[in-house]
Every structure is written in C-alpha cells, then in structure tokens.
Amino acid sequence: MLSFSLLKATACLIWPSSGWTTCGQKTASAFPTLLDATLDDLNRGLSSGIFTSVDLVNAYIERIKETTPTLNAVTEINPDAVSIAETLDLIRRQGGPLLGPLHGVPVLIKDNIATADKMNNTAGSYALLGAKVSEDSTVAAKLRKAGAILLGKAHLSQWAECRSSNSSNGWSTYGGQTLGAYYPFQDPSGSSGGSGVASSVGLAWASLGTETAGSILLPSDVNNVVGIKPTLGLTSRYLVVPISEHQDVVGPIARTVKDAAHLLGAIAGVDPSDNYTSKFPFPKTPDYAAACVKGGLLGKRLGIPRHVLHDPQEAPLSNYSVTVFDSAVDILRSAGAEIIDDIVLPGYNMTEISALLTKSLHADFAVAIEKYFGQLATNPYNITTLRELRDWTQHDSREQWPEKNTLSWDNNLAEGLRNTDPEFWDVHLRLLYLTGPQGYTGALKNHSLDAIVLPTAFAVMNAAISGTPVISVPFGRHPDDTEIIKDKTGTLNAVAPNLPFGIGFAGAPFSEETLISIAYDFEQKVQAREVIKPYIKPKSDLEDIASHNHITDRLSGLSRNPAHRFTAAVSGNLVPLTVIKGAGHEYIPLPEGENATVADFHSIRTNTKDSPAHFTSGFYKIVAGPARPAHYNFEETKYVLNGQIDILDEATGITHHLVPGDFAFFHVGSKVKFSTKSEGLAFYAVTRPVRVPHPNLKGREEDAKSKL
C-alpha cells in the first residue's frame, strides 16, 4: 500500500551547517560517496539526520557483498552490526551524549584482532575457527568505547604471513584469496591486505591492520590508502594473534591522513595487559587529528638516505617509485621543508638484517603463540603449542597441506630457538643496534631531523625492527605501459599498470603528531586519490541504500532541534496527519489534488487488503491530534496504539517508527502494513495520546514503543 521514498524527486533540502544542497538538478549530493567519504562527511550526515548509522551499515554490507566475488576483502560481517547501529541511532535521536568521536561509524578490523562477540578470530586458519576469548581485545574495546560499530573482519594472509613460503599475499585457507582493486589479479600485499583493499574501495569508513614487518605499510602502499605503523607501545596488542612481542603493532588504514589520525587516537594508550604500552609518554592520548593543519611541512628537516634506494631486495618491484621519487622531494621542498639529502644509515645491511630477523621472529612466535592459545576461553582443537599447530595443519585437509607448505614453522621447530634463550638476546640486540643507533633513530638524532622520507616500500624494515613510526601517503601510480611482474607464486600481479605507490615518512619513537602534520600537508599538495582510481569498485552507495528508508528517520531530529533549518519544495501544504486503518474495505477517498482527507481526526483511511492506499504522494508532518476523547466503539476497534505508528515496508523489510514531530514523505507504491499486536481485522493508530479511551478498551492499549 504505502512506501516511503527518499526525498529527492519532490523536495529540496538545504542544510546551512554543512553547505549541502540538493534541489532539482543537484549541485551536490546530500549523501557522500562511500568510495571517498571521510569521518567529517559521515558525522555531518549523521548529525544532520540525512542518513543513519543503520543506513551506513546496510550500505557497507551491500558493497561488501557486491565486491566479495572479485576482491574478497572481508572474511565475515558482524551479525550484530545492524542492531548495534540501531542502538547508536536511538542515542543520537534522543539527544543523549554520544559515546565518542566515532559514534555510529562502521569500522573493519583485521581477522587476527579478537572480539568477545559472535564473530570469529581465525588468523585465516580453521585451527581458530570457533575459538573464543572472554573479553574484547583492548583495541576492539577502545573502538567500541569511541562509539565505532565493528562491522566485520577484514581478510589477511594466513597467520599474518607466518606459515608458508609458497603462498601468496592475501591468501588463507579460511578466507581464500584477496585481490587489489587497481588491476585484475592485483597482489594486495600483506598481511593486512583485506584491510587495505576494504579501506581503498569504501567497504567501511576505515580499518585496523597489524604489522610485524610491513603488514600495514605495504598494503597501504599498493592500495592507495594511508597507513600508520605506530611506535611499538603506542597501541595495545592484547588478544591480537601474535608473531613478535618485540615488533607487533596495531594501526589504522584509512583513505586520508586525518581519518587515520582519528582512528589512531581512538586506539592509542596505556594497557595494563600489554607491558610495552607502559612506555606511553603522554598523560593523555594526543589529539592526533588536530595535527592535520596546513603548513605542516614548513621548516621541517627531512633526511633522505639515497643508498637505501639501491637495495636489490626491493628492485625491480619498486623501480618506478624510485624513478619518480625526486618529484615528491620537489613537492616537499616547495612546501617549505629543508631537505638533508644523501644521509647514510651505517647499519643498513639487509643481508645481515634479514638473516637475523628470521631467527628473531621464529623465537618470538614460538613463545607468543603458546601464550595466545592459553588466553582462549574456548579452544576447539586444544592446540597449545607451535608443534601441535603444525601437526594439526598438516592433518586437516582444509588447510591445503602440502600444496601450501608449513616451511616457516618447520624451520622454526628445527631451530628450536625461543625468546627466553641467551642466543635470542644476542640476535635481538644486534638488530636493535643496526636499526637504532646505526639506523633511523641515530640518523634522526645526528642530523636533527623531523623525519626520514623514502618511497614506502623502502621505509619498512628499519622501523619495524627499531619500533619506530612510519606513515605511508598515496603519491603515484604505475604508467599504462608498465610491464607486468608476477609475485613469487606466479599467480598475482605484483607490478602492473595503474598500481599505486606511496611515500613513507619515518620518525622517532612517539613522534606520530609530527609525522601526521608532515603527511597531511604532503597529502593536501598531492591529492593522489583524486587521480588514481580503481579499475573495479562497488556500484552500491549510501544514497541507493538510504532511499529505501523513509525520510522520517533522517529528518525526525530536525523537527526537534531548532538549530536545524530546512526548506521543502512539495506539492501541497503540510497536513496534520493521523493514520487510521479501517476495517474491511472502509476508506475515505481523497479529493483530486489534495494530499489528505481531513476528517474528524485529520485522518487517512486505507484499505486492509493489498489494493493501493487512498491518498496521494506528499510531504506530511506528524502532529498530535486534538485533546478530546476518541469516538469509536469496541466493535470498530480492537486495540489502540498510543503515541507511535509502526509501519513495515514489505518491499524492504524495514520497520519505520513515526511519532509526533516527525516529517514523512509518503510515496504511494510498494506495500506496507501497520503494526499492532491485535490479531483482528481492525485497529486504530493515532499519533496523539488517547486522553479518554473507551471503557471497553481500558488496559488494552499497546505500549507506545511496541514493534512488530
């Protein structure tokens, strides 16, 4: 009978606070495009009431479903995401204090960050399917406290690249293969490939990744997004599936520097469950987003260790980013940065560093994975050690062994080194020396630098080992005539036309504010996301999804908040409206050209059958009726619905709740039905309290908040 349509064809909304305008031939959409939507965009729409958190969740879910056959970036959608969004919408609608700066904003987290809800935390392996923890990981709990909606789990390389030598980036047995969006069969990089791809094409506002040695920075580099690998100890790793307690970090992946800064601020801070965060030097978490101001490069001293650019381990995969690197340097210099060129990192010997690092990570993982297994409240296969994990993997056909080997674990077990052994500390201290005093931290101090700048792919290893921060910012793309280079498995395209790459800014421990100010200014000068576009992206968008929800839910806050003003171009006048569903085929036809039949209670009667509703499309305000007894009798009416009309749109399955003060755009079209608990044919739905109900109905009124 009835349906509610987004007010776009027959109404003009003007929101002075945001500058959005939509009227006839629109100059700008009232809905941000999710491919590039920022936190400011989403908060503006949510606070204005033009869309809801439920709209956002549903839109992102549609985009995830649409891209999964091609990109496969998301392992699992939180089954409670919509209900959580409804709760957060209600808080906003009732004017209650918002939970935090991310109130009602959907975020994806990597599938190695545990949550104490209905979602799994698999690290890409069936060995952890069904495993449960007794509480959220600290970063997940912090996101909830900030008001974020945990939308789902982003795919990852199995065990964060810590199992096989012959598996591809973004592959796992549980999740399958993730692909990048900038060229067919693009290597998404790893291990946070799902987080990088999902953020890049707008499958959530932003995502969390984890890094041991490149797993935030490299997916950000090739997926045209901003990644922040924070200082070791800035963010907690509690209940995150580990590799190395000496290198693991959790950090944001987002489309802009400012959004990444917002997300970093939400998860940073001291955690008694992770003793590395005791190094957190601030009395309270800095406002990282406040560092996003123009002029951040002015006067900054930036060092360039050019000898690093000739590292044979990176060539030829990064040759083009090296070729155009000087154009990035020119931008930095023109923005007022002082370039200290050709500095030297004496400890940069990747042959030695790589050999030592393998030993170090093996020793760390053997101990850390045992600790994680011991923290599980439910351990479905009772795996407690690395050896048991290796053996289980080799005997469960779902794990695709031996097609995908377990060489990393085999070598680890053969070495038998643990991070409690004296030999480990010799290795670890040597690594810290090569990458600290002889690496980034030494160069930053010796040259009085604010940051070291390199193509992102070259900025990874030193910072990973020394525990220092790096931000990757999108910069360029490979030209159309780029020769394709396959990955190590021969299945994915590691280099190809249109593949993005970024510039990395590395700093001293806990210098994230400085790096963010530098990165933001560089981003504003370059605006790479404006010109580098994916070859495939979701077609579903927020406007498409929100148009299925009636305008009441998006405008109800306006009628209650005098600070909001809007103008509406509609056919006809605003009509006080009470909706009565009559018994049988009773109805009052509308006179031609009128929006509503103004009857005793300014009522509209509709047919109880599936024939069209007997009123025209129009824009109506729901108001309380006159303060007088209702005249009806028990034979005419079964129940009374006090104060609220619930309408189920059968075309979409969405229930809309109308109360006095709401504005509703009614469009005659798809079927709806009104809601009561009555099983009879007739009921009376009013938007005013019934002052003197019929004696026969006393005590039979429905609660004002009753739903289907």
Tokens of 388: 């048991």
Is residue 220 among the annotated active site residues? no
Do 551 and 37 touch, CB atoms closer than 8 A? Answer: no
The residues, any chain, with a CB within 8 Å of residue 646's CB and separated by 6 or more, are 655, 656, 657, 658, 674, 675, 706, 707, 708
The residues, any chain, with a CB within 8 Å of residue 213's CB and separated by 6 or more, are 247, 357, 361, 460, 461, 464, 465
Is residue 215 among the annotated active site residues? yes
Q: How far apart are CA 419 and CA 360, in angstroms?
A: 8
Q: Of the residues 48, 137, 164, 191, which is catalytic?
A: 191
Is residue 134 among the annotated active site residues? no
State the DSSP string of 349-415: -HHHHHHHHHHHHHHHHHHHHHHHHHH-SB-TT---SHHHHHHHHHH-GGG-TTTS--HHHHHHHHH
User: In the sheet that 576-581 helps form, which strands lie side by side, from edge to edge?
Assistant: 2-4, 663-668, 618-622, 576-581, 603-606
Tokens of 307: 């000898």
DSSP 687: S
Amino acid letter, 432: L
Q: How far apart are CA 512 and CA 30, in angstroms?
A: 34
Angle, helices 81-93/53-67, rounded to nearest 10 degrees: 150
Per the listing, tokens 């500058």 go with 19
Q: How far apart are CA 209 and CA 111, in angstroms?
A: 9
Q: Compute CA distances 54 → 86, 250, 319, 428, 546, whole Å.
A: 6, 27, 45, 48, 9
Q: Of the residues 3, 48, 215, 559, which is catalytic?
A: 215
Q: Of the residues 8, 48, 53, 110, which is catalytic?
A: 110
The residues, any chain, with a CB within 8 Å of residue 220's CB and separated by 6 or more, are 196, 226, 227, 253, 456, 472, 502
Q: Compute CA distances 611 → 67, 606, 668, whole Å.
A: 38, 9, 11
Closest CA to 478 of 175, 224, 138: 224
Q: How many CA atoms lie within 13 A of 543 on its CB side?
A: 13
Q: Sign of dihedral through CA atoms 487, 489, 490, 492?
A: negative
Per the listing, tokens 């390199």 go with 454
| Catalytically active residues, by annotation | 110, 191, 215
